[in-house]
Structure 1
Amino acid sequence: MKPNTLWLALAATILFPAVAVADNVTPMTPDGVASYEKIRPEADFIKRVAMVPMRDGTKLYTVILMKKGTNNAPILLSRTPYNAEASAMRASSQKLSESVPVMDVDYVEDNYIRVYQDLRGVHKSEGVFIGNRPLSGPLNSTGIDESTDAYDAIDWLVNNVKESNGKVGIIGSSYLGFTTLMAEINPHPALKAAVPQSPMVDGWMGDDWFHNGAFRNAVINYAVVQSTAKAESDGTAVGAADDYSRFLEAGSTGDYLKKWGFDHYPMIRKFTENPAYTDFWSLQAVDKIIAKQPLKVPTMLVVGQWDQEDSYGAPAVYNAIEPKDKHNDMVSLVIGPWRHSGVNHYGYKLGALTFTGDTAHEFRVKYMKPFFDHYLKGAPDPKTPPVLTYATGANQWDESPKWPMGKPQKIYMTDNMGLSFTANGNDKAHDDYVSDPAKPVPFVPRPINLNDPAQWRPWLVHDQRFVSNRPDVLVYTSDALDKPVHIMGAPMVNLFAATSGTDADWVVKLVDVYPNTTSEGASQGYVGQEMTGFELPVGIEIFRGRYVNGFDKPTPLTPGKVEHYHFGLPNVDHVFLPGHKIMVQVQSTLFPLYDRNPQTFVDNIFYAQKADYQKATMSVFHSSNIELPVAE
């Protein structure tokens, strides 16, 4: 070989090294590949995974996402029991905006760093899972809680994510709303803004586990999923048959739990062994805890008007901390026309209701992101309204200086099953129905699947005509309205009632009855004949009678004695339009969403026996009324 030829050959070897060629494949070549890196070099984003250490040495799995080129950026954090990896990356794409949940798109496209973290003991994090882990104190002597874990996570992030500007916001819905609130207790100095959405605040009083003492059977599957195999379970394996029949045939909820092998789960035992509102629950209530804390973090509380899981928490926290907001600029309350967590999805419709555009995206872009931009990026003050609510019926956003805006105006049950803003003066008049635990009123039409999202998510707006003609449902209806009635607040129930039994549940529904015509048009919240004569629930709530003298001390009811049951319906902004009617329905079962009251007093309803379930005559007196928060 000539010298110059040799040099050229050596140069080629150096510049273009030989590529290793795999052995030729044969029909017997194994097809398994160890892994595939979904994020290709051309991806427009960076993904990092870190095991972030807590103060006790436990490491939590943390996913960090940002667009390439992100710099001097705020961190938006969510702490979740629902799989950080799956929550952060909903799809596989080389574009971050196509990979993250829809609620995150506007942030990752605008120089935000998005972070999701698995809580202790679930999915890829170390440690032990305790549902709604209590704050360190009387119920928790470990010194470790979701407040300390949030502090430690934020501290690590601002010191180890080099693209950060050192400012952190926290956001999340449902359980993530709970962890968002917990981060505000003894907060890290870098935590500058918080948006708790539909937060789990008081699981006994009105969020996931109980409502005014009545147990929600729908949480059983949730408890099994979250408590099994680091929350990797598929849930209960009871089949697809009608849950109405399944729970009824089992007997009590305790019998159901035993039959399917769920009675030994610690999370479920916490429910069954603590049916009353003792310190076990009251000392966990986040609104009571946070009321005692100084107000340090600007907070936007968000809830859906028809939140089927956590309607109680956000308004309760607002009531707890708003008095400390001296300049009315640190705390805001938002009520949108959504289901549970609907703020983070598409807000065009809910059930049969349709709205004027994507209300959820409109809120996120016009109000929520500017709130974060101001506190995390130094953007101009957006002048967030103290209260922002969506007036269903009128289909418009209302900005208000306080909540509630309405003043109480009583609407009474009257003779001939009427409703009137004038009392009829006969307090002894009453209407009766027989409540039979063997034939409970379903909360949606059968067949019922408590785990079916299509049935579960919109149930609070389901047309109530399917039960209006039942003999065990009292229906009181006003005349057609000649002018709008606009309510802004939580309607308060004053039910004067008696039972022939020694215990009872009372379910009250406030309903907007649409005209039996199609002339109103889509601008008023519906399309064509779909809403003709529709009975739209504005609010539904239950009260377990044994707690009439105090939630912590269940007592038998005296047969025939009239008791005053006073409780609130969910907070709403709603307009009853002219031509509509106001309706109130009263019943004693809402099954199988809530466990059946045997109507015979027993120490613990979870363990009621077959003989305890007895028919009872329920009497509703015409002194009963709903205090509607009517806005002027």
Structure 2
Amino acid sequence: MRRLLLLALALGLVATSLQAAQYSALPDETPAHFVAPTQGMDFEKRDVMIPMRDGAKLHTVILVPKGARHAAMLLTRTPYSASAMASRAASGSLEMVLAGYDNAADIIVQDGYIRVLQDIRGKYASEGDFVMNRPLRGPQNPTPVDESTDTWDTIDWLVKNVPESNGKVGTLGISYDGFEPLMALVNPHPALKVSVPMNPMVDGWRGDDWFHNGAFRQTMLAYILDHQSVRGEGDGWFTNDFDDYASYLSGGSAGDIARAHGMDQLGFWRKIVAHPAYDAFWQDQALDKILAGQPLKVPTMLVHSLWDQEDIYGAMAVYKAIKPKDTGNDKVFLVIGPWHHGQEIGDASSLGAIKFGSDTGLSFRQDVLRPFLARYLKDDAPKVDIAPVTAYQTGTNRWQKLKSWPGCEGACERPLYLGAGSSLSFVEPKDKGSDQYVSDPAKPVPFVPRPVHASGDPWRHWLTTDQRMFSDRTDVLTFTTDVLDAPVAIAGSPVAHLVASTSGTDSDWVVKLIDVYPGQVAAQPEMGGFQLMVAGDIFRGRYRQGLDKPAPIPANTPQEYTFALPTANHVFLPGHRIMVQVQSSWFPLYDRNPQTYVDNIFNAKPADYRRATQTVWHGPGGESRIDLPVVPLGAKAKR
């Protein structure tokens, strides 16, 4: 029986081998390397792997316009797939290929630049390890490589291996892709002639993607999961609710929500949980602080969006850090536009319900970015005077060309006082008083009307959402001026000075500066009574004594909370009113403060979340106010 079984097994193996041999005799119909035809295409595409100094190779797509000679190269390094950026349309036209995804594709193609797109280390087709916002070599990065060295090595290879180039390279990008041009400024390659960081990630704790003044932006959990769970783009985030508000509320703390999605497996998430305060981990990576200590070698144009829902802090922080070194006023340029995150590369004639009367994005690209790039990258470009600051003033809806920013430095600050009877005035109150509300973590204030969708179009323009529905909530305090009989122009960062107490031992404070439109607007009737948030931000109360020094708040004891709101360049017109709203949650964009002090809010338990009575004080000895950077509407000195 044993012999029969062995014989059967042997015959089966022979039959299998014969079948395999018969199948393999059929030729493979897929070529080992398919050569795509180029007839009818106005560019040549080259896929290369560029070696870095540690041996890792980074996937790079080079798009060379047909007939290019002595052309400059524009480089974008990205975690979002170089291949995807170079294949957005089935077309032989380079502009069609890049349109809808690339940064300023129209002027890149029209001016004949060689386009270079690269997957950063550890993403998509590039080798190496991915580290979110990989820090510079130093305390937070013991390896010999970082984004600065990878950019240097890439540029060095490009100028030696792209014969159609003139040896000049510029780098540009938005968001994470905008973080990369800033990293390139650390020990820049000699061939790097210009850098354009647009809406860049700069300081993830102070006011960009991950935190704002210590309050965690928990809707970024999906982003972290997508980008760290796989080398490409993941799809691991799931929800069983149509309304993100309900989904996050039922999930518990931000830590509980992350654990439910398996995020404890992700290195960057573990770092966030381990560093909830502004400690050395975050301070060492703050690019504004890093660049303040670097020589100013490369002309840089920083692009900031007034309603940037993702990175509203970074561009202005870098400008403030490096502009003082620009003694010749010819190395650091600033553009401020009326845009959401990245809107400057697309149609920007409106933002939500706000209309500007012209395509402000097109104006930026054609009138500012185009001559700026040409000035430093083209061999034969005439020198064009570009204003040190190009700023769009909302309210009047006009572009300004300025010598510096902001228009107001300290002496122009004008206090706007919160007062009794929900009043708001430039006149200091004579009587001391207070207003109260109850903040309930079980019913947090939404950041947009429900149902909440923290993605897509609602997310892109949420900062211009009508604030009327929040004015009527009992857990939001509202203070309003009389109707203005003269315009009030502000240019800079309003600063909130909130004197407040809580019955709890921790609290968040949200302050919103709002332009209230007249009851009727003839040119746009639907804007009648609209409440437009001009600037607003959140502050986690435990950090009032120092951003790296969390401490419980003494219950029922007034404390002063001082924090800057995002940059504004706005005119409150006659017939409008100015409003300030104060609240203690902004959900689910920011995680809920339990209002009971715990060492780490990521690990807060259900019993820690408690209602608290919040008191905002005003009048002598306890003036809650907003210091507005007021400038003359027709000022000439800075223009």
- TM-score bucket of the superposed structures, by smaller chain: over 0.9
Residue 448 of structure 1 aligns with which residue?
452
Classify the secondary structure of the residue corresponding to 1:230: coil
Distance 1:37 1:466 in 2: 59
Classify the secondary structure of the residue corresponding to 1:538: strand
Superposition pairs for residues 340-379 of structure 1, below 5 Å? 340-378=341-379, 379=381
Q: Verify the 8 A CA contact 1:254 1:263 in the aligned structure 2.
A: no
Distance 2:40 2:232 in 1: 34
Q: Verify the 8 A CA contact 1:88 1:101 in the aligned structure 2.
A: no
* 5+ long unaligned stretches in structure 2: 1-25, 633-639
Residues 371-421 of structure 1: CA deviation (Å, up to 9, x unaligned):
110011142222221111101111100111111103211111111101100
Amino acid at match of 1:630: V
Distance 1:30 1:488, change over 3 A: farther
Classify the secondary structure of the residue corresponding to 1:322: helix
Matched, 1:511 2:475: no
4+ residue runs of structure 1 moved beyond 3 angstroms? 29-40
Residue 261 of structure 1 aligns with which residue?
262
Residue 525 of structure 1 aligns with which residue?
none
TM-score, normalization: structure 2?
Answer: 0.91
TM-superposed deviation, 1:300: 0.5
Identity of aligned residues (%): 54
Q: Verify the 8 A CA contact 1:510 1:540 in the aligned structure 2.
A: yes
Matched, 1:631 2:631: yes
Residue 54 of structure 2 aligns with which residue?
56
Residue 580 of structure 1 aligns with which residue?
576
Residue 6 of structure 1 aligns with which residue?
none
Q: Verify the 8 A CA contact 1:155 1:188 in the aligned structure 2.
A: yes
Residue 617 of structure 2 aligns with which residue?
621
Matched, 1:489 2:492: yes
Distance 1:30 1:432 in 2: 80
TM-superposed deviation, 1:88: 2.7
Amino acid at match of 1:512: D
Distance 2:34 2:53 in 1: 34
Matched, 1:425 2:427: no
Residue 20 of structure 1 aligns with which residue?
none
Amino acid at match of 1:515: P
Matched, 1:148 2:152: no
Classify the secondary structure of the residue corresponding to 1:455: helix
Q: Verify the 8 A CA contact 1:599 1:615 in the aligned structure 2.
A: yes
Residue 174 of structure 2 aligns with which residue?
173
Q: Verify the 8 A CA contact 1:374 1:382 in the aligned structure 2.
A: yes
Q: Verify the 8 A CA contact 1:480 1:578 in the aligned structure 2.
A: yes
**Structure 2 counterpart of 1:553, from 530, 545, 549:** 549
Distance 1:321 1:39 in 2: 48
Q: Verify the 8 A CA contact 1:307 1:338 in the aligned structure 2.
A: yes
Classify the secondary structure of the residue corresponding to 1:141: coil
Q: Verify the 8 A CA contact 2:38 2:44 in the aligned structure 1.
A: no
Amino acid at match of 2:616: V
TM-superposed deviation, 1:109: 2.4
Q: Verify the 8 A CA contact 2:344 2:361 in the aligned structure 1.
A: yes
Residue 7 of structure 1 aligns with which residue?
none
Amino acid at match of 1:438: A
Residue 88 of structure 1 aligns with which residue?
86
TM-superposed deviation, 1:272: 1.3
Q: Verify the 8 A CA contact 1:476 1:583 in the aligned structure 2.
A: yes
Q: Which moved more, 1:40-49 or 1:133-142?
A: 40-49
TM-score, normalization: structure 1?
Answer: 0.92
Matched, 1:46 2:44: yes
TM-superposed deviation, 1:39: 5.6
TM-superposed deviation, 1:101: 2.6
* 5+ long unaligned stretches in structure 1: 1-28, 522-527
Residues 514-559 of structure 1: CA deviation (Å, up to 9, x unaligned):
111022x2xxxxxx22211100010110000000000101000001
Classify the secondary structure of the residue corresponding to 1:320: helix
Matched, 1:381 2:386: no
**Structure 1 counterpart of 2:472, from 463, 466, 469:** 469
Q: How many residues of Structure 1 are paired with residues of Structure 2 in the alignment?
A: 595
Residue 158 of structure 1 aligns with which residue?
159
Matched, 1:499 2:491: no
Superposition pairs for residues 298-447 of structure 1, below 5 Å? 298-378=299-379, 379-406=381-408, 407-426=412-431, 428-447=432-451
Residues 160-207 of structure 1: CA deviation (Å, up to 9, x unaligned):
000000000000010011111000100000001001011100000100
Classify the secondary structure of the residue corresponding to 1:290: helix
TM-superposed deviation, 1:45: 1.1
Q: Verify the 8 A CA contact 1:243 1:447 in the aligned structure 2.
A: yes
Residues 452-479 of structure 1: CA deviation (Å, up to 9, x unaligned):
2111100000000121100000000011
Residue 23 of structure 1 aligns with which residue?
none
Residue 228 of structure 1 aligns with which residue?
229
Classify the secondary structure of the residue corresponding to 2:264: coil
Amino acid at match of 1:502: T
**Structure 2 counterpart of 1:609, from 594, 605, 610:** 605
Classify the secondary structure of the residue corresponding to 2:288: helix
Residue 13 of structure 1 aligns with which residue?
none
Residue 71 of structure 2 aligns with which residue?
73
Distance 2:63 2:106 in 1: 12
Residue 238 of structure 1 aligns with which residue?
239
TM-superposed deviation, 1:32: 8.2
Q: Verify the 8 A CA contact 2:302 2:335 in the aligned structure 1.
A: yes
Classify the secondary structure of the residue corresponding to 1:55: coil
Q: Verify the 8 A CA contact 1:335 1:572 in the aligned structure 2.
A: no
Residue 565 of structure 2 aligns with which residue?
569
Residues 606-625 of structure 1: CA deviation (Å, up to 9, x unaligned):
11111111111111112111
Distance 1:123 1:619 in 2: 51
Superposition pairs for residues 27-46 of structure 1, below 5 Å? 40-46=38-44
TM-superposed deviation, 1:241: 2.2
Residues 349-392 of structure 1: CA deviation (Å, up to 9, x unaligned):
11111112110111011011111100111422222211111011
Residue 17 of structure 1 aligns with which residue?
none
RMSD of aligned alpha carbons:
1.6
Amino acid at match of 1:66: V
Distance 1:336 1:210, change over 3 A: same
Superposition pairs for residues 518-533 of structure 1, below 5 Å? 518-519=521-522, 521=523, 528-533=524-529
Distance 1:598 1:90, change over 3 A: same
TM-superposed deviation, 1:562: 1.2
Q: Verify the 8 A CA contact 1:434 1:618 in the aligned structure 2.
A: yes
Distance 1:101 1:285 in 2: 32
Q: Which moved more, 1:326-335 or 1:501-510?
A: 326-335
Distance 1:604 1:86 in 2: 39
Q: Verify the 8 A CA contact 1:297 1:330 in the aligned structure 2.
A: yes
Q: Verify the 8 A CA contact 2:49 2:58 in the aligned structure 1.
A: yes
